[in-house]
Amino acid sequence: IIKDSITGILRGKKVLITAGGTREAIDPVRFIGNRSSGKMGIAIAKAAADAGATVELVLGQISIAQPVNPQISIYQVGSTEEMQKKVTELFPAADILIMAAAVADFRPARVANQKIKKQDDQEQLELQLVKTTDILKTVAEKKRADQFVVGFAAETADLVQNANKKLKSKNADMIIANSVAGNNGAFGSDLNQVTILQLGTEPVQWSRMTKTEVAIKLIQLLATKIK
């Protein structure tokens, strides 16, 4: 799998990509986050740029360097709500949306204005969480026929079955399922083993390869999907 093979295949296309994890504030100094490194989404952004696309990259919390590329515009966001606003704003102009971000499913019901202090006699703290908006689902509901939407599915069990449910419930054209279980999981790793799901076709399991290679193969596949 070589980078040169994708040169120009997405020229003139606009690709909107989310990467990294969202952060949901608890108080001014604390948040609920997740283990997403941003590596997969950033690798896709780089591959899309190599393919000649204009890339809008909406970034949550990441643990690697931001890409520096004249074709990639970066929008830094914190919470799921901020990410939703940015994606909703940028989606109408995009040919392809790829939701690689690890988005919080729940956020604290209330955000404390001041730092939460522990009391001497306090042994427990209860946080009430409320569901966030499903960005992928909400945005894909408004998808035009000329737009292609790709979601990810992070699973620790029943990978294909769970990912298939997400393909249908989220109005996505494609779901990239990856295991986040144990030491072979995708979080933080440079390697990924994914299964590609599309409506009306059998799931296709790709071999374990670097995230850069997954990104290149994905861009090759997406180029065949859009006019």
- Compute the distance between CA of residue 129 and CA of residue 2 in angstroms, rounded to an integer: 45
Residue keyed to tokens 């109408």: 92
Q: Residue 106 annotated as binding?
A: no
DSSP conformational letter for 215: H
State how far the Cα of 136 lies from the Cα of 174, in Å rounded to an integer.
12
Residue 105 labeled ligand binder: yes
Q: How far is the CB of 139 from ligand CTP (least distance, A)?
A: 8
Pattern of binders to ligand CTP over 115-154, x per CB under 6 A?
A: -----------------x-xxx--------------xxxx
Q: Which amino acid is located at 137 in the chain?
A: K
Say if residue 14 carries a ligand binding annotation.
Answer: no
Alpha-carbon gap, residue 45 to 215, rounded angstroms: 8
Q: How far is the CB of 108 from Ca ion (least distance, A)?
A: 16
CB contact at 8 A, 106 and 130? yes
- Print the SS3 string covering 10-54: CCCCEEEEEECECCEEEECCEEECCCCCCHHHHHHHHHHHHCCCE
170 known ligand binder:
yes
Neighbours of 113 (CB within 10 A): 7
Specify the residue, 135 or 214, whose C-beta has the smaller distance to ligand CTP. 135
Q: Which of ligand CTP, Ca ion, none sits in contact with 39, Cβ below 5 to 8 A by type?
A: none
N-to-C CA span, the chain: 23
Which residue's beta carbon is nearest to the bound Ca ion?
105
Task: Show contacts with ligand CTP in window 83-102 (CB under 6 A).
Answer: 99, 101
Query: Other C-beta atoms within 10 Å of 183: how many?
Result: 5
Nearer CB in complex with ligand CTP: 11/131: 131
User: Which position has the token pair 């941003």?
Assistant: 38
Pick the closer one to Ca ion by CB: 60 or 67: 60
Active-site residue set:
34
Bridge partners (DSSP) listed for residue 152: 176
For position 105 contacting Ca ion by CB under 5 A, the verdict is: yes
- In whole angstroms, the minimum distance from the beta carbon of 134 to Ca ion comes to 9
Q: Is 115 annotated as a binding residue?
A: yes
Residue from 46, 86, 107, 166 touching ligand CTP (CB under 6 A): that is 166
Quickly list H helices, the chain: 39-50, 80-90, 135-140, 159-169, 211-225
Whichever of 89 and 105 has its CB closer to Ca ion, that residue is 105
Question: Site residues (CB under 6 A) for ligand CTP?
Answer: 80, 99, 101, 103, 105, 132, 134-136, 151-154, 166
Question: Site residues (CB under 5 A) for Ca ion?
Answer: 105
Which parts are annotated binding residues?
105, 115, 152, 166, 170
